[in-house]
Structure formats: structure tokens, C-alpha cells
Amino acid sequence: MKRAILASALLLAPWAFAQQEVVPGVRLIRGTFTPGSQPDGNSVVIDAPSGLVVVDSGRHASHTQKILDLAKSSGRPIVAVVNTHWHLDHIGGNAAIRAAYPDVRVYASNALDDALTGFLATYRKQLAEQPPSAAYEAEMKLIDSGKALAPDVVITKSASQSLGGKTFRVGLERSVTQGDIWLFDEASGVLIAGDLVTLPAPFLDTACPAQWSATLDKLAALDFDVLIPGHGAPLTKRQFAVYRNAFNALLHCDAKEACISAWTKSVAPLTNDDAKFTAGLMGYYVDLLRSDRLAANCH
Ligand SMILES: [Zn+2]
């Protein structure tokens, strides 16, 4: 009961803060996502007995710097980084954190290996064909540094895992990518979902939609009070149910415009993003869902 009261009190205006203490000892650095720019994923910084555990390191240097600044001001070292998946907006800051804290251990699935020769190699080729820009150069540099972004410890199965002397339930799924990790801190009731939950839209680019839906069922069965998504503000369990219903409706909806407007209307209470921005993203993703391009992600 105490957990639930705390969580709902802190969730009154979640998007009002660039950085917020979700519950004591768990701080969220919100990733930004603005039209015309690639996003940063959310980062979570957790107090553990032997130091700080960071979940996801951002894409842009400015985001990662916020993590480093928070660690510096707390006077505690970053002892572990967990990457929920290999998308660049979640692993891009690994090298900078390693440079600042050489003893840090990075935990992730091994899905980056295939991504470097598959999706990311194709993406890099597309970037190289565009007129030069600082943003594209930075993306290509990040991809070229691939091995510096890779884990020290490969997570191969769902299990309890001690990080910085604190025990988490760690799940390994294949939904958004071929290796998606979630972390559940049972003591605080906080579930860190990575891009298994994203607002204002589900980022389907490398996903298997049916497997994603099954994973959302698994998350719903966990006894959490607060879910921190990969993008967007923290959700209560009730808000997550709204998200899950909207996701499943999206997989089975009919006319494109109706699909877009049903999604946008459903998630409006969960996000502060502009409805036009959300609808624009969903136009792209509804087309993607109806293409055969995602079938290759289902194994
Ligand atoms: Zn992301």
C-alpha cells in the first residue's frame, strides 16, 4: 500500500520535470524527442549499495552528460550500466561513461552483434548517401564505435541479477529487437521497461508486433507500481493498461486514419506530446505494420 501511495503522488505531473525522483533512490533523466531530431531514450539512475546503476546511456553527448553530472553531484561512482536494447538512443553514451568510470561493467544482450552487420550497417549506408550534416556524421561515428558500445557481461536469460550489490529481476525478451531487457526492482515497485513501452508511439522499426504484444502481457503480470518506459513519462499500472489496450487495438485495427486517431486519442492522457506529432509518427508506423517488412523480425 505504501508503495502505491508514493508512486501516485509522484506521478501527478510527470512531464513537468527533465529529471525526477520517481521513488526514493530511483531517478529518471528524461530523453528528449523533438520533431526533426533523433531521440534520446530515458535513462534511469538507481542507488545501489556499491554505487550507481544506470539503465540506458542516451544517444547525444548532452544527454549522457546529464547522467555524468548527476553521478558527480551524488559523489558516488557509476558501477553498472544496463542497456535495455541496442538502439543508438540507449547505448550511445556507453563509451563516455566508460571513460569517466573505467571500472564500470556494461550489461546487455548480445543482439548488438547482429545489428552491427544488419540494421545498423544498412542505416549507416543510408546516412552516407545523404548530403553531409553534423547530425549524420555523429550517427555514423557512433555506429563505427560499435565495439566500444558492447557489453562486458552478456545477459543470456531471464533471472535475478545483482547489480552494484542490489538484486533485480531481469527479463530477456525478443520483441522490439532480438534482445530486450527489462528490470524490476521489487523492493520499490519500479519496473524499467526500455522500449517495450514507448510514448508517444511504439517504435516498431526492428520489432515483431505479435511477440511484442505477448511481452506486454508478461509485464502486466508483474506486481509493479510504476513503469518507466523507454520514452515518455512514468506510468501507473492503470495507465499501462491503457497503453497495452491501445497497442493491441493498433495491431487489429482497420482503416489507416481510424487506426491513427484511435491510438492518438487513447494515449493522449499519457503524454504531453503534440497530437499532430503523435499522429505523424503513427502514420509511418501503421504503414510499416501493414508492410511485410516486420515479418523478418519474428523468430
Ligand atoms: Zn528508444
- In the chain, the percentage of residues whose pLDDT exceeds 90 is 84
Q: Ligand 1 centroid to 63 CA: how many Å?
A: 13
Indicate whether 251 belongs to any domain: no
Indicate whether 274 belongs to any domain: no
Q: Ligand 1 centroid to 253 CA: how many Å?
A: 24
126: domain CATH number is 3.60.15.10
Query: Using 50, 70 and 90 to split pLDDT, how confident is the model at 14?
Result: very low
Indicate whether 290 belongs to any domain: no
Q: Ligand 1 centroid to 265 CA: how many Å?
A: 22
Indicate whether 284 belongs to any domain: no
Q: Ligand 1 centroid to 92 CA: how many Å?
A: 11
pLDDT above 60: residue 13: no
Per residue in 82-98, pLDDT (tens digit) is 999 999 999 999 999 99
Among 8-12, 102-106, 122-126, 281-285, which is the least confidently predicted range?
A: 8-12
Indicate whether 280 belongs to any domain: no
What residues form DSSP beta bridges with 54? Answer: 45, 81
Average pLDDT over residues 154-169: 97
Q: Ligand 1 centroid to 175 CA: how many Å?
A: 13
Query: Using 50, 70 and 90 to split pLDDT, how confident is the model at 8?
Result: very low
Q: Ligand 1 centroid to 73 CA: how many Å?
A: 26
Grid coordinates given for 224: 509493479
Indicate whether 260 belongs to any domain: no
Q: Which domain holds residue 235?
A: 2-239
pLDDT above 50: residue 287: yes
Indicate whether 258 belongs to any domain: no
- Count up the domains in the chain and report the number: 1
pLDDT above 70: residue 72: yes
Q: Ligand 1 centroid to 177 CA: how many Å?
A: 11
Indicate whether 223 belongs to any domain: yes
Q: Measured at the alpha carbon of residue 294, what is the angle toward residues 147 and 149, in degrees to the nearest 5?
A: 10
pTM higher than 0.75: yes
Model pLDDT, residue 54: 98
**Rounded Cα gap, residues 146 and 141, in angstroms:** 9
